[in-house]
Structures are given as C-alpha cells and as structure tokens.
Amino acid sequence: MPSYAVTLLSGGLDSTTVAVQALQETGNLSAITFHYGQSHSKEVDCAQEIAGVLGIQHQLLDISFLGQVAWYSALTNPDRFPVPEDRSIDRMGASIPITYVPLRNTIFLSLAAAYLESQVLYALEIDGVSPKEVAALIYMAPNAIDYSGYPDCRPEYFQKMTEALAYGSKLWTEYQIPIQVKTPIIELSKMEIVKLGLRLKAPLELTWSCYQGGAVPCGSCDSCLLRAKGFEEAGVSDPALTRFRDG
Amino acid sequence: MPSYAVTLLSGGLDSTTVAVQALQETGNLSAITFHYGQSHSKEVDCAQEIAGVLGIQHQLLDISFLGQVAWYSALTNPDRFPVPEDRSIDRMGASIPITYVPLRNTIFLSLAAAYLESQVLYALEIDGVSPKEVAALIYMAPNAIDYSGYPDCRPEYFQKMTEALAYGSKLWTEYQIPIQVKTPIIELSKMEIVKLGLRLKAPLELTWSCYQGGAVPCGSCDSCLLRAKGFEEAGVSDPALTRFRDG
C-alpha cells in the first residue's frame, strides 16, 4: 500500500518523536517547518538538522505574516498581549488562555494538506500510480499537556478538520483518497513521549524545546521545566543537554 | 446585533460585488487580499482602491509561498503544469482540471477566519462587548460558473469547513459564536452578478477581471470574455472598459 506522508516538524522533542514514528510507519515522509513570530532560528536550525539526519525532504515556510492575521495572541504579539503574571486563571482550565493563536492548527493543516495533496496528485496523474490503496497522511504532535484547553488540539476538532480536508480536496472528491490526520502523542504525558522517542531511536539530542534562542537551553522556562520533568520521570538524562552544553 | 465581518477581496467583479453586499448587511467589514503567484499587481492595486472607496480596513497578505506548497497546479506553476491546449476535457466536467489549486479555499478561509476571530476576541475580551447575539461572518465569492468542478467551491464543502472552523476556534468553544461562511453569489450567473453589482451600486468601474496585467483589459482572455458576456446579457456597458480605456 503506497503511503505518502507529511509531518509538521518544529524541531522540538514532540514533533521529532512523531516524525520518526511517521517515517517508520510510512517509509515515505517529508516535513514542513513553519517559521513565524513565535519561533526563533535556533528551533528552525534544529528542524533542518533533524530532517537531514532522518534523510527526509524538508520544506521551510516563512509565515511571518501570521502575526498580522492571527494577531490577538500572546504568542504572535507578546508586547501587546503579554501573558499575565498570575497565570492561575490559565491553569485552572476555566478559560482558553491568551497564548491561544486563532485557528493556528487549521492554518497549519491546510498548508500541510496542500503540500501533501500536490505530492499525491503528481504521483497519480503524472507518475501513473494507481489510486487503489494509496494512503495520504499528515502527522502532527499536539499534546494534551502542552496545549490544555486549546480548541484546535482536541480529537473532535481533528475529526471535523479531516472531513473538511476531504470535501475540499480533489484527492477525495475525484479519487476517494481521504487525507488522514494522525496525532499519535495527543494523549501521552511528557514522560511517555520521552520513552517513545527513546524506543524509536529518535535523535532527541538534536531537539530544541527552550523558548529562548540561546546557545544552550535556559533550563528555567516552562518548556525546559516540562522537558526536564519528562526525562526525570523516564529515568534517563536528556541527551540534548549534554550535546548543547558540551558544544 | 453586533456583526463582525471579513471579506475576501481579489479586486475582481465578483468579490467586489460580494464586498458591497457584506458591507450593507453587516455595517462592519474589513477585507483581506491575498497576493500570490497567480495574481498580478494590477489586481491588487484595484483591490486596494476598492477598499479605499468603500472605506473599509484592508489587509494585504503576501502568500507567494503558495506555489511551494500547493505546487501541483497550472495556476501556481504554469510553466511546469500548463493548461492543455485542448481544454475540452476540462469543460466536459469529466475531471477536476489542472487549474485546481490544492486546498486553496481551505487555506484562504483559515487565514480569513484567524483574522476575524482576532477581531471578535479583542472586542469581547478587551473592549468588553457582550457575546450575546454577536455574529462573526466571512464573505467570499466562489461561483459555480467560474469554478465548475472545483471541490472547494461546493456548498457541501463550505458546510464541512464551517464545522471545522467552529471546533477549532475559541470563539465557538468558549463563546458559542460560530464563524459563518457566506457565499452569496455561488449560484448566480455572470449576468446576475452584474445586475446584483449594479443594484448594490458596487464600484464595478474599479474592478479588474483580466488575467493579463496590462494597462487596459485584453478583451480576449477567458475572464474578459466571460465578463463581457455578463454585461452584454445584462444589457449594460462595462464601466471599467470606459474607465481603463479612457484612463
């Protein structure tokens, strides 16, 4: 069964683990990295290096305009909408926090699906691959712990988006091939993601989770703390710390 | 009932007519114009001028990367995938033509929805507008004649996409405000669109339909021919021809 797969690769622990799983499951993977306000070049550099190590095609897309479109967010406009000092409101789950980026995953999935559909249509219509049993898959790494409360990280959202991608695509309308969205770590804890990454032999030493763009992870931001806790609970040391600290 | 609306404005006859209808229906409209491979600056200039005449906020977005993502298309990569000389296949409706741009309307709607959601969330959470009876609307101008066979121009697609936009948004998840997608001219002939535009007093003299980017419309491309037929059947002369030809 010929598979075509695209994975969203940020350069972090989660998306790198998912990329390796996608590669092993499909044998035919390319990656997209979105560069925008939130991300720094350190993260993008890591994504490129990881794609190189995995030997997969890599498409880097500059979508810096995201801050003009999805502008009401602490991630795209931190100066205008800072994260409150007292984040207890966010953490009680009473309300979707200001770090929510309007429709971000819908934008990301649309772009990834267009890239995937282009590849599969080319295979069918130019290379002459038979549409029978072709699978078209998007992998991404939303996670319940990182994204608690975000509407576009819930399984019911992905179900609705999958239907929209089918109805809006030639792949489904003409060839009855659905664009499937795979979110393999959506229910895992950080400790379970670490263990999965190690089991899959993902290059975790190349991944970058720190919100800062320094030479080494800061060790004190939320993302560094969450990552450290995951490795600690998994009972292993973080290979990226060794690598980045020792150069 | 406070309304917030965003319209997709290309600078052509159809989207300009829809923009005027949206403005009259909601009283509160902003426009997005996407600039990418397919469009030339003439069309974008017209869109800017039209937004100025209507007195609405205008966001121009350069999404030139579309050709790298939705690359399998005669519109985004005309040199690589030219439209066949004999287009009888396309016109028989036997197959979705090579001018289909993978997931284009899904990408456009995602971006427009993010822009709209930002505006409405700001109104609710910063300006303190009550969510009761707030309407959030996207207007766009797909049309059965122009886009025959494109999967992402069918009413059933817009229904699925509306559901995905709801489930992926804070606006629906937290405030029960759906992002509605309005396609008022989807079933109209070009003649009916011309008549609607005239009735709404839309600035049709400022619109640009020609595929070429010359100083005056070429008069011979498919789009010029379709437009000329619409005006002829409506029994009026095209005000844009007079304007552009007389400078």
Question: What pLDDT digit, counting tens, does each position of A132-142 carry?
Answer: 989 999 999 99
Query: Which token pair is B231?
Result: 């005006």
Task: Indicate yes or no: CB of A164 within 8 angstroms of CB of B172.
Answer: no
Q: Which residue of A has its CA nearest to B100?
A: A170
Mean pLDDT of B138-157: 86
Query: Which token pair is A55?
Result: 């030997």
Average pLDDT, chain A: 91
Listed in sequence order, the residues at least 6 apart from B42 whose beta carbon sits closer than 8 Å to its beta carbon are B208, B210, B213, B214
A 100-129: CB under 8 A from B: 100-107, 110-111, 113-115, 117-119, 121-122
Q: Is the predicted pLDDT of residue A2 greater than 70, yes or no? A: yes
Nearest to B109 by CA among B162, B44, B48, B31: B162
Mean pLDDT of B35-46: 80
Mean pLDDT of A53-80: 93
Residue B196, pLDDT score: 98
Mean pLDDT of B198-213: 92
How many Å apart are CA B125 and CA A97, to the nearest integer?
Answer: 11
Give the CA dihedral B196, B200, B201, B207, nearest 10 degrees: -50
The single residue listed with the structure tokens 């690359």 is: B71
Mean pLDDT of B145-150: 72
How many Å apart are CA B182 and CA A194, to the nearest integer?
Answer: 45
Residues in chain B: 247
> How close A160 comes to chain B (CA, Å)?
5
**Choice among A145-159, A164-178, B76-90 with the minimum mean pLDDT:** B76-90
Residue A242, pLDDT score: 83
- The larger pLDDT score, comparing residue B27 to residue B36, is at B27
- The larger pLDDT score, comparing residue A118 to residue A75, is at A118
Task: Indicate yes or no: CB of A157 within 8 angstroms of CB of B168.
Answer: yes
What secondary structure, in 3-state letters, does chain B show? CCEEEEEECCCCHHHHHHHHHHHHHHCCEEEEEEECCCCCHHHHHHHHHHHHHHCCEEEEEECCCHHHHCCCCCCCCCCCCCCCCCCHHHHCCCCCCCCCCCCHHHHHHHHHHHHHHHHHHHHHHCCCCCCCCCEEEEECCCCCCCCCCCHHHCHHHHHHHHHHHHHCCHHHHHHCCCEEEECCCCCCCHHHHHHHHHHCCCCHHHCCCCCCCCCCCCCCCHHHHHHHHHHHHHCCCCHHHHHHHCC
Task: Indicate yes or no: CB of A160 within 8 angstroms of CB of B154.
Answer: no
Give residue A50's identity as a one-letter amino acid code: I
Phi-psi region of A232 (alpha: psi -120 to 50; beta: other; left: phi over 0): alpha
Task: Indicate yes or no: CB of A172 within 8 angstroms of CB of B151.
Answer: yes
Residues in chain B closer than 8 A to A103 (CB atoms): 110, 113-114, 117, 165, 168-169
Q: Is the predicted pLDDT of residue A91 greater than 80, yes or no? A: no
Task: Tell me the residue ranges of DSSP E strands in chain A.
Answer: 3-8, 29-35, 57-62, 135-139, 179-182
How many Å apart are CA B137 and CA A48, to the nearest integer?
Answer: 39
Residue A89, pLDDT score: 44
Give residue A1's identity as a one-letter amino acid code: M
**Choice among A35-39, A41-45, A191-195, B47-51 with the minimum mean pLDDT:** A35-39
Residues in chain A: 247
Question: ipTM of the assembly?
Answer: 0.94
Q: CATH number of the domain at A3-205, please? A: 3.40.50.620
> How close A246 comes to chain B (CA, Å)?
37
How many Å apart are CA B181 and CA B162, to the nearest integer?
Answer: 6
Q: Is the predicted pLDDT of residue B38 greater than 90, yes or no? A: no
List beta partners, residue A61: A34
Average pLDDT, chain B: 91
Residues in chain B closer than 8 A to A127 (CB atoms): none
- The larger pLDDT score, comparing residue A91 to residue A2, is at A2
Mean pLDDT of B7-31: 97
Residues in chain B closer than 8 A to A147 (CB atoms): none
* DSSP 8-state assignment for residue A142: -
- The larger pLDDT score, comparing residue B174 to residue B94, is at B174
Q: Which residue of A has its CA nearest to B6?
A: A69
Interface test with B, best of A65, A118, A148 (most B CBs within 10 A): A118
Query: Which token pair is A68?
Result: 């003009």
Spelled out in words, what is the top-level CATH class assigned to the domain B3-202?
alpha beta
Query: Which token pair is A153?
Result: 């990280």
Q: Which residue of B has its CA nearest to A68?
A: B115
Q: Is the predicted pLDDT of residue A93 greater than 50, yes or no? A: no
**Choice among A54-63, A69-78, A104-113, A146-155 with the minimum mean pLDDT:** A146-155
Is A211 an 8 Å CB contact of chain B?
Answer: no
Backbone angles phi, psi at A162, to 5 degrees: -60, -40
Starting at the edge strand that comes first in sequence, how are the strands of the sheet with A3-8 ordered?
A57-62, A29-35, A3-8, A135-139, A179-182
Predicted TM-score of the model (pTM) = 0.94
Mean pLDDT of A76-98: 71
Task: Indicate yes or no: CB of A170 within 8 angstroms of CB of B151.
Answer: yes
How many Å apart are CA A15 and CA A9, to the nearest integer?
Answer: 5
Task: Indicate yes or no: CB of B161 within 8 angstroms of CB of A167.
Answer: yes
What's the pLDDT band for B39 if we cut at 50, 70, 90? low
Give the DSSP letter string of A46-97: HHHHHHHHHT-EEEEEE-TTHHHHS-SSTTT-TTTSPPPS-THHHHTTSS--
Task: Indicate yes or no: CB of A151 within 8 angstroms of CB of B165.
Answer: no
Residue A148, pLDDT score: 60
Is A161 an 8 Å CB contact of chain B?
Answer: yes
> Beta A3-8 vs A29-35: how paired, if at all?
parallel
Residue B146, pLDDT score: 62
Mean pLDDT of B68-90: 80
> How close B4 comes to chain A (CA, Å)?
15
**Choice among A37-41, A47-51, B91-95, B130-134 with the minimum mean pLDDT:** B91-95
Q: Is the predicted pLDDT of residue A234 greater than 80, yes or no? A: yes
The single residue listed with the structure tokens 């011979």 is: B220
pLDDT for B83-139, tens place per residue? 776 654 444 444 888 889 999 999 999 999 999 999 999 999 999 999 998 999 999
Percentage of the residues of chain B whose pLDDT score is greater than 70 = 93
A 5-34: CB under 8 A from B: 32
